[in-house]
């Protein structure tokens, strides 16, 4: 059976022709698919798809969200960064999150980026106002944060999931490009220098030649080589690898040290760091992008001769005070963007088309390709998304197809080379029954996706839900990964989440004890049972994520946990929300970013008797015994602002700030920004030409603030 770990969705139907239902379905799959590939790339240094494929998925997600803003999911890939840290290193929290960049792929994307800056800050609304930018080569390496106190290197950590990374301090001390003591005397007493660990092209080739001569595995590309070398458990091994480092940013800092990005780069250079060169200070005024576009073309032309791998350029707002005001949107800064280079292409053959069943029952067709080298990497698979995708491109078994990639394995099918089609070729016939359970497949009218609706009675869906339940961002049970879930499922040992937490109690019932299984022993069985025991207590947000509710990813799960605080309260409110005229339903859909579609998926989960039975068996006492699990209440981070934990709604046109900047500022101070007014709204901030929201707020007797009163409340 093909499992979810092999899935990568490609969405080639024009965004302009998507129905709302199709868009909603695609955003759901994009969230799940991109989360998996974030884990593989950032967490394991084992990407299964190319940079171009990943970027295309991100770009598709952005395009759909732009056309359907009401469908933007709280667990959207645009709100995530990185992956959970590896268990091989001590974990360390970043004092300032390490986030990633949004992507641009053409000149129009860059124009849109600049338009976004002008729309966010009122003083930039005038196109005649020049915007100074700094453009740099985008290094393809591993992000690193290095903490210096009183000029001395204290610690270093990888990005990890953006909030928590791996402590690689001793390994970093072996990298010659990283000073152990900052040069000069004008550095802050505390500063986290951030940048990229990489390997030069020549050093990469030399390393691979040495690996090959020793009969050891070679690396697919310099990025993988750098990541694997930095994350050696033995620092002596890292010291033998030719690692380099470019500095280009900073995290926590005890005092300001520059007014512009360009000045900050010069400070980093003076302190002993190497910079990603050649960089350029450019300006955009009105529609004149000549300097910026010229830099992009220049770097692309010089790419092969730089001596290190890059996959585009990075563009940053130069003024640091503007960067501070622009802030962040989800996982990315508003003041910076990565402009990627175009992907590479090749031609190969579709050997066969197979289908696989996902956790939600979605049927995904996969093109199995004759292996072909693209940019030095062998690729052999491409996921075709759905029946419409196959029919639109008329992809058939035996066809020669154009594929494209930029760095790693699974390509995008661009199109068919019709002149090479075999005479005996026949259109692909999409199956009518589930390949796993044999039940008829269903495709609802107006929807692009086909589903097996047999639910947990379909073994593929049941197993995929178990895989999700124990995944790293859910219960994260060491030793219970995909391979062992498949093994236990096939042998009938684990068929539901409840079975996981009764595994030791049932050991030896109706079959040999686990320690007697092939490949197992007393020690390995004991380690698994102990790992399960350690995970009997779990925070509410991770538990909600583990349930695998459609559209409820990590961010949405955390949002629900933050709003409802306890499992019992959440369940009670979801029961009341079944009545769509109730206050509970109004409260659910008014959560910022929720919407009716996502709310319906959550309520559907609670409508299924089987789901409620699993919840009860996991979290409630059974037969006089203690619950199998303890789900801890959500504890919000301590914030001292006057609006921390308050629910606010903005309406009308504000004078001092744009609406987007006002919302961003409120969220940064710990407020919950809602899209509609309800009885639980704490403040309604009213600007000019406010409409029905102000009227409803007055009818409900809510606290209404003018823009100036609001600014005074938050201390601005």
- Closest alpha carbon to 204 in 176, 232, 230, 223: 223
Which residues are catalytic, by number? 138
User: Contact 145/681 with Cβ under 8 angstroms?
Assistant: no
User: Contact 461/441 with Cβ under 8 angstroms?
Assistant: no
Question: In residues, how long is the chain?
Answer: 716
Q: How far apart are CA 283 and CA 76, in angstroms?
A: 32
Strand-strand pairing, 537-539 and 451-452: unpaired
Q: How far apart are CA 195 and CA 249, in angstroms?
A: 6
Q: How many CB atoms lie within 10 A of CB 562?
A: 17
Q: How far apart are CA 681 and CA 673, in angstroms?
A: 9
SS (H, E, C) 253-278: ECCCCCCEHHHHHHHHHHCCCCCCCC
User: Contact 197/309 with Cβ under 8 angstroms?
Assistant: no
User: Contact 451/550 with Cβ under 8 angstroms?
Assistant: no
Run of H or E including 295: helix 290-302
Q: Is 497 helix (H, G, I), strand (E, B) or coil?
A: helix
Burial 493-512 (b: 16+ CB within 10 A, else e): bbebbbebbebeeeeeeeee
Measured N-to-C along each axis, helices 567-576 and 554-564 cross at an angle, to the nearest 10 degrees, of 90
Q: How far apart are CA 451 and CA 431, in angstroms?
A: 11
- Closest alpha carbon to 456 in 265, 610, 302, 686: 610
- Closest alpha carbon to 573 in 551, 606, 548: 606
**Cβ within 8 Å of residue 219, ≥6 positions away:** 204, 207, 208, 211, 225, 228
Evaluate the CA torsion angle 688, 693, 698, 703 in order and state its sign.
negative
Run of H or E including 339: strand 336-340
User: Contact 417/400 with Cβ under 8 angstroms?
Assistant: yes
User: Contact 330/79 with Cβ under 8 angstroms?
Assistant: yes
- Closest alpha carbon to 542 in 465, 670, 667, 632: 632
Q: Is 6 helix (H, G, I), strand (E, B) or coil?
A: helix
Cis peptide leading into residue 278 (ω within 30°): yes
* Location of structure tokens 């926590």: 252
Q: How many CB atoms lie within 10 A of CB 646?
A: 18
Q: How far apart are CA 165 and CA 209, in angstroms?
A: 31
User: Contact 407/52 with Cβ under 8 angstroms?
Assistant: yes
Structure tokens at 117: 């800056």
Q: How far apart are CA 30 and CA 359, in angstroms?
A: 14
Run of H or E including 377: strand 377-383
Q: How many CB atoms lie within 10 A of CB 90?
A: 11
């Amino acid at each position: 059976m093909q499992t979810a770990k092999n899935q990568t969705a490609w969405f080639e139907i024009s965004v302009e022709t998507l129905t709302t239902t199709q868009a909603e379905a695609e955003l759901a799959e994009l969230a799940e698919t991109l989360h998996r590939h974030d884990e593989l790339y950032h967490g394991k240094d084992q990407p299964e798809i190319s940079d171009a494929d990943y970027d295309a998925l991100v770009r598709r997600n952005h395009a759909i969200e732009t056309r359907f803003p009401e469908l933007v999911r709280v667990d959207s890939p645009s709100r995530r960064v990185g992956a959970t840290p590896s268990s091989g290193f001590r974990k360390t929290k970043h004092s300032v999150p390490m986030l990633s960049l949004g992507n641009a792929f053409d000149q129009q994307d860059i124009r849109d980026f600049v338009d976004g800056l002008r729309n966010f800050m009122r003083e930039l609304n005038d196109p005649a106002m020049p915007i100074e930018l700094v453009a740099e080569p985008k290094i393809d390496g591993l992000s690193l944060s290095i903490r210096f106190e009183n000029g001395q290197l204290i610690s270093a950590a990888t990005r990890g999931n953006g909030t928590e990374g791996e402590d690689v301090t001793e390994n970093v001390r072996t990298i010659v490009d990283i000073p152990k003591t900052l040069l000069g005397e004008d550095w802050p007493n505390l500063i986290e220098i951030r940048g990229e660990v990489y390997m030069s092209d020549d050093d990469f080739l030399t390393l691979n030649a040495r690996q090959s001569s020793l009969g050891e595995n070679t690396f697919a590309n310099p990025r993988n080589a750098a990541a694997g070398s930095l994350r050696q458990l033995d620092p002596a091994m890292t010291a033998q690898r030719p690692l380099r480092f470019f500095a280009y940013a900073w995290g926590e800092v005890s005092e300001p040290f520059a007014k512009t990005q360009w000045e900050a780069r010069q400070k980093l250079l003076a302190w002993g760091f190497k910079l990603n060169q050649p960089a350029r200070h450019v300006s955009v005024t009105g529609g004149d992008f000549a300097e910026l576009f010229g830099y992009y073309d220049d770097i692309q032309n010089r790419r092969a001769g730089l001596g290190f791998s890059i996959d585009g350029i990075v563009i940053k707002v130069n003024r640091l005070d503007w960067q501070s005001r622009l802030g962040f949107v989800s996982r990315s800064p508003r003041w910076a963007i990565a402009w990627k280079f175009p992907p590479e292409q090749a031609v190969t053959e579709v050997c066969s088309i197979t289908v696989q069943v996902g956790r939600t029952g979605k049927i995904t067709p996969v093109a199995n390709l004759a292996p072909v080298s693209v940019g030095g990497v062998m690729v052999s698979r491409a996921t075709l998304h759905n029946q419409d995708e196959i029919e639109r491109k008329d992809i058939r078994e035996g066809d020669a197809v154009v594929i494209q990639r930029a760095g790693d394995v699974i390509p995008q099918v661009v199109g068919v080379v019709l002149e090479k089609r075999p005479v005996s070729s026949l259109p692909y016939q999409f199956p009518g029954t589930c390949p796993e359970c044999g039940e008829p497949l269903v495709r609802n009218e107006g929807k692009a996706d086909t589903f097996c609706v047999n639910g947990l009675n379909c073994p593929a869906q049941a197993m995929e839900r178990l895989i999700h339940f124990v995944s790293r961002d859910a219960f994260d049970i060491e030793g219970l990964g995909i391979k062992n879930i498949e093994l236990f499922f096939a042998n009938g040992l684990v068929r539901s989440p409840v079975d996981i937490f009764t595994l030791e109690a049932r050991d030896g019932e109706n079959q040999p004890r686990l320690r007697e299984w092939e490949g197992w022993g007393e020690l390995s069985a004991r380690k698994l049972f102990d790992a399960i025991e350690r995970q009997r207590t779990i925070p509410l947000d991770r538990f909600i994520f583990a349930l695998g509710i459609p559209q409820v990813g990590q961010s949405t799960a955390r949002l629900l946990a933050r709003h409802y605080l306890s499992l019992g309260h959440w369940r009670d409110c979801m029961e009341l929300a079944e009545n769509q005229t109730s206050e509970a339903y109004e409260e659910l859909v008014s959560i910022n970013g929720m919407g009716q579609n996502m709310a319906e998926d959550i309520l559907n989960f609670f409508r299924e008797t089987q789901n409620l039975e699993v919840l009860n068996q996991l979290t409630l006492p059974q037969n006089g015994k203690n619950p199998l699990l303890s789900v801890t209440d959500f504890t919000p981070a301590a914030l001292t602002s006057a609006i921390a934990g308050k629910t606010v709604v903005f309406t009308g046109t504000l004078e001092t700030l744009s609406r987007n900047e006002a919302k961003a500022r409120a969220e940064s101070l710990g407020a919950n920004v809602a899209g509609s007014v309800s009885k639980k709204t704490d403040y309604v901030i009213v600007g000019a030409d406010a409409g029905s929201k102000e009227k409803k707020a007055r009818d409900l007797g809510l606290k209404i603030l003018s823009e100036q009163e609001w600014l005074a409340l938050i201390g601005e």
